[in-house]
A and B are shown apart, each in its own frame.
Chain A
């Protein structure tokens, strides 16, 4: 399967690049760490941990902004010359799939780290941890699929890429966020899993729609 080989080569390239420029990765981790710490300091003023609804909302806000920052640099750090070079070597579908997989792995790591730091500083009121983590992973994959194409679009516009990405990405992510927050609230309250089933299925379907649309549209974006 030449497509799979292209994807794995591109993935290896992305990981190697990330490892060589550790400043970006370190910056991302520090971003998550410092936001959680700021939350901790703000809540400690009122003594102790925040109530579960606030805990939940803050976690997702932190993850959302971390995801925007993490994905934004993906296509933007590549120069037009570099892009042309890839264009001659691999097909665009491989580029977008590799980027989605890479971003999904990166965001999974960020989400799990965020949850860990959150637990350390702000306590852990989750009653159904397995469901919560599964939902977190679905969220990371969903953010990655949505934001990858958006970051490609924003990179084309040049200039203020990160701002444009937030403007383009947030409204697209609201429906997904609503579902994610609902399921994680159910997990926090330890509700029966049957309650969350429909939302989880919708999330899965949404991830597939967004992934398929990115796969179809990315070649057009790349052609320019």
Chain B
């Protein structure tokens, strides 16, 4: 491993930790927040417009479909961030149980599921026009499907409890266990399994080549930040809705 690669992965981890910490602050925020929400709207709208209009390098196989980088990849980034926030709430729940933390973990996980489904849909559409098939047995695609199955199982598990405290505790445990046992592997396995059609892997012009293209970078990074902020926003709104519903039920 080169020094640059080590610095790259360390700063990646640091940015993820900072993102999760900031994310849980934003999700829990009571009021205010016009600035970051405005920024989220601005970045997503801007990245969408620029994503369709800005010039892209014409490369074989992908051609114009490369623009999916501005939509598909930020969705997965946002999914991972909001799921990490969910795990963070589950860990906090186990340390000091409260129905508030349970709601936050649940709503963050649901937001992650929505973003994952969006990522699957955009990826599938892209694959139809680039590879000629909606779904291929590619390691990345399998990993995405497994992640969705895990969170589907999480929802089923939540549904099978009557007692609220028990539901909160057991689903927090499953959330942490599933994340620790499966999610890291979904990043490791595609790298282990050799040839893959997915961009960023071998066998196809990869997006890592385009990362060197500065115009694409200028659209890609704002899109990532915008989608991540949007995910926190959705999690915040949906958990506020549940808090209101709980309060209403109490009265």
- Report which A residues bind B (CB closer than 8 A): 146, 149-150, 153, 156-157, 159-160, 164, 167-168, 170-172, 174-176, 178-179, 182, 198-199, 202, 206, 209-210, 213-214, 217, 220-221, 223-224
Most chain B CB neighbours (cut-off 10 Å) among A153, A168, A176: A168
Set of chain A residues within 8 Å of B121, measured between Cβ atoms: none
Instruction: Mark B100-143 against chain A: 1 for CB-CB distance below 8 A, else 0.
Output: 00000000000000000000000000000000000000000011
* Chain B interface residue number, banded: 20 to 34
Contact A209 B146 (CB under 8 A): no
Task: Tell me the dominant secondary structure on chain B's binding face.
Answer: helix
B166, B181, B188, B189: the one contacting A156 at CB < 8 Å is B166
| With A171-B153, A224-B169 as contacts: A153 and B146 at CB distance below 8 Å | no
Set of chain A residues within 8 Å of B169, measured between Cβ atoms: 220-221, 223-224
- Report which B residues bind A (CB closer than 8 A): 94, 142-143, 146, 149-150, 152-153, 156-157, 160-161, 165-166, 169-170, 172-174, 176-178, 180-182, 184-186, 188-189, 192-193
Set of chain A residues within 8 Å of B173, measured between Cβ atoms: 149, 153, 217, 220-221
| With A174-B142, A202-B192 as contacts: A149 and B177 at CB distance below 8 Å | yes
Q: In the complex, what residue of chain B is closest to A157 when comparing beta carbons?
A: B160
Contact B153 A167 (CB under 8 A): yes
Given contacts A164-B156, A209-B180, A217-B173, 5 further A-B contacts (CB under 8 A): A164-B157, A174-B149, A209-B181, A217-B177, A220-B173
A-B pairs under 8 A by CB, number: 90
Contact A153 B150 (CB under 8 A): no
How far is B91's CA from A220's CA once the two chains are assembled, in angstroms? 11
Contact B185 A198 (CB under 8 A): no
Set of chain B residues within 8 Å of A157, measured between Cβ atoms: 157, 160-161, 170
Set of chain B residues within 8 Å of A213, measured between Cβ atoms: 176-177, 180-181
How far is B13's CA from A10's CA once the two chains are assembled, in angstroms? 41
Q: In the complex, what residue of chain A is closest to B156 when comparing beta carbons?
A: A167
Contact A175 B180 (CB under 8 A): no
Set of chain A residues within 8 Å of B192, measured between Cβ atoms: 179, 198-199, 202
How far is B182's CA from A199's CA once the two chains are assembled, in angstroms? 15
Contact A171 B149 (CB under 8 A): yes
A160, A182, A217, A224: the one contacting B176 at CB < 8 Å is A217
Set of chain A residues within 8 Å of B177, measured between Cβ atoms: 149-150, 153, 172, 213-214, 217
How far is B142's CA from A179's CA once the two chains are assembled, in angstroms? 13
| With A157-B161, A167-B156, A202-B188 as contacts: A172 and B166 at CB distance below 8 Å | no
